[in-house]
A = this chain, B = another copy of it.
Amino acid sequence: VAAEPRLNVAVLGASGFVGGELLRLLSRHPDVGVVRGFSESHAGNAWGAVHPVLDHLDGGRFEEPNPRAAAAWADVLFLALPHGRSQGVVRELAAADCLLVDLAADFRIHDRERYERTYGPHEAFELAAGFVYGLADVAAERLAGARRIAVPGCFATAALLALHPFASRGVVGGEAVCFAVTGSSGAGAEPGRSTHHPFRAHNFFAYALGGHRHEVEIEEEVGRWTGGGPPCRLLTHSAPLVRGIHLTARLPLREPCADPLALLCQAYGGRPFMRVLDRPPELAAVVGTNFCHLHAALAPGGREVIVLSVIDNLVKGAAGQAVQAMNLALGLGETAGLEFPGVYPC
């Protein structure tokens, strides 16, 4: 039991969906004392005016962003800014003493060519080397003591958690293909054509056929495990869901794998947010939570394995994993503030 809540935590970009989830999780985190939320577009407004479920937390108001002042005050600073916006802030705070957890893509990738072919020029790439890629459920050791963390993308998280038990043991014998499905919250709080209710509500469509940007994250992380193993293709789809990612990965096997389910259990036994099921997981069971549910089966013929993973894109795929990474970096209880089991049916 924590003696006394004590951490000062700041969130930059607190009015977006990921920012709202950070405020929600941190406000109930047993080791967090004060939470402050910063937002350019909503400075002065109550949190509840933007995030209705925070209405109960009387008193929270968005503040005008001032990264230096926030970093000077905070023990932990979360950046929930649009891709490309973290670069400048991180450069400005290069000397800051606080734990810095970035949720954008800016510091996830350590290979400059790989970054720039996907996202374009980077104004502070030299700082990327100082960031730990925060795939919390498999990188607990790398995260211990870290002071700069780049939180993985939502699709990358779902894919990497499905691939890790296989890729890290060297059993994958060729290109992995991941069919991924996402809800509309992944597109953010700003209305647009693809999230206009009349178009989205009873629809299903593929997008980013030329290659989703998260592929490069996956490539780099899998490379860390395998020394440069086979690539992974991501085929992304929009479904009439609000939250969550369902991923179906198909991995060609280098050698027979008698029992892929046992391999999953072995890999994730004891990991608090990883649940290996003896049946295909259902997305609804993880919505609102930091859990990842998994299942695996041999394809008929036995030369491929099918791995299924489901996560909440805003929690395990963003804010929840960020808090988990903070917990691991600071040596707090790994599950602190993240134990909510979900609401079902919902």
Contacts and interface: CB of A to CB of B under 8 A. Distances in A.
Interface of A: 1, 17, 20, 24, 28, 51-57, 177, 179, 181, 183-185, 189, 191-193, 195-207, 209-211, 233, 235, 237, 239-244, 246, 248, 250, 275, 277, 280-285, 287-289, 291, 297, 299-300, 306, 308, 310, 339-346
A240 B285 CA distance: 14
B287 A343 contact: yes
Contacts of A181: 181, 204, 237, 239
Contact of A203 (B24, B184, B191, B284): B284
A1 to B, nearest CB: 8
A242 B207 contact: no
A306 B235 contact: yes
A301 to B, nearest CB: 8
Q: Which 8 A-B pairs have the closest CB atoms?
A: A198-B345, A52-B285, A179-B179, A53-B342, A191-B191, A288-B343, A184-B197, A203-B284
Contacts of A248: 179, 206, 235, 237
Contacts of A289: 53
15 contacts: A17-B198, A24-B343, A53-B285, A53-B289, A55-B285, A195-B196, A197-B240, A201-B345, A203-B282, A204-B241, A204-B284, A205-B282, A239-B240, A243-B345, A346-B346
A155 to B, nearest CB: 14
Stoichiometry, as copies per complex, reads 4
Given A191-B191, A197-B197, A209 B341 contact: no
Contacts of A277: 55
Contacts of A239: 181, 204, 239-240
Contacts of A284: 52, 199, 202-204
Contact of A233 (B20, B54, B299, B342): B299
A244 B184 CA distance: 19
Contacts of A342: 52-53
